[in-house]
Every structure is written in structure tokens, then in C-alpha cells.
Amino acid sequence: SCLTQRIEVEPMRIVLALIILALLYLALVSPRLRKSGFASPALLAHRGLFDNQNGATENSLAAFERAAAVGYAIELDVHLTADGQLIVFHDEDLMRACGIAGDPRQMTLAQLREQRLFGTDQRIPTLDEVLDLVDGRVTLLIELKTTSRYRELPLAAMQRLRRYKGP
């Protein structure tokens, strides 16, 4: 009957209208987001595009290069060493990644340079090394790790990032 036919058509019209509205929204908003530089990346390499078994360990220059080479945005963590250097390292202890106990924030850069990541030839990089390597090719998401030097870390990171030309 007419009533049954109308009930079946109404949901289809609603779904079709919602699809059209969604497409219009994307067509109108998406170009503006891209022009503003706000368009979010589709993929994010957490601690770089790493493979701990094959030399491109997490938070290593090799992992960051792999991510940048394929266009993935990169998430990384930054600590401030005892001698005021910005390093890229996730953990608050070296045991998991380097096999020794120690807080990277209480060690100097020279002491940290002696450590190898996950038994490879990769070392703990500085933020400068990562920024130089990535060189604006992809978006960076930088987490400043908690520290008792809560004023010093953000100021040091901000000072360094002011010179960075990337997104």
C-alpha cells in the first residue's frame, strides 16, 4: 500500500540526505583546513617507525628517518639531561632500552652517548639531531617528559624549536 511504500522510502531519503550533507561538509571544510596547515596527518609513527629487531629501534635516528621517508608524522619524547641537553628518549629509566639502570635526566649527554639502544649501534639522539634529520619533511608531535626541572625543560625546548623551520 501507499503507507508501506512511503515508510520504506523515508529512511532511504534520510540516509541519502545525510550522505550528501557529509560530502558537502568535507568539500567545503577540508580545503580550508589544508590551506591553513591544520589538516591532520593520516598516520603517526609513535617513537618513529621502529623495528627493534632490525636496527631501526624506537626513538632512534633510523626509526625517525624511516617515518619521514614515507611521510608519517612522528611522535617523540624529550628529556633534559643533567648538563642541560635535550635528548629524545621515552622512558624515565634506561633499563628497558639500554639494559642498565639509570635516569637519563640525571646523566650527562656524554654518559648517555655511551649507551646503545636495544643492543644495536643506535644511540640516544639529541633533539637537534632529530630536527636536523627530519628537516621539516613531516609533522612532529613532541612530548616534554615530566621533570623536577619543569621550568627549564619547556624553555629549552621552545628556544630550540624557534629555529626549526618545519611544521
Q: Would you state the cell numbers that stand for residue 28, as one nine-digit string?
A: 567545503
Q: For 93, what's the count of Cα atoms within 13 Å in the CB-facing half-sphere?
A: 5
**Which of 45, 46, 98, 105 is an active site residue?**
46
**Which of 66, 79, 90, 123 is an active site residue?**
90
What tens digit of pLDDT does each residue of 66-121 get?
999 999 999 999 999 999 999 999 999 999 999 999 999 999 999 999 999 999 99
What tens digit of pLDDT does each residue of 36-73 get?
454 454 588 888 998 888 879 999 999 999 999 999 99
Kindly give the residue spans of alpha helices, DSSP state H, lying in the chain.
2-36, 61-69, 95-98, 109-113, 127-134, 152-161
Annotated active-site residue 79? The verdict is no
Type of residue at 123? R
> 116 and 55 in contact (C-beta within 8 Å)?
no
What tens digit of pLDDT does each residue of 123-137 get?
999 999 999 999 999
pLDDT of residue 21: 62
DSSP secondary structure letter of residue 37 = T
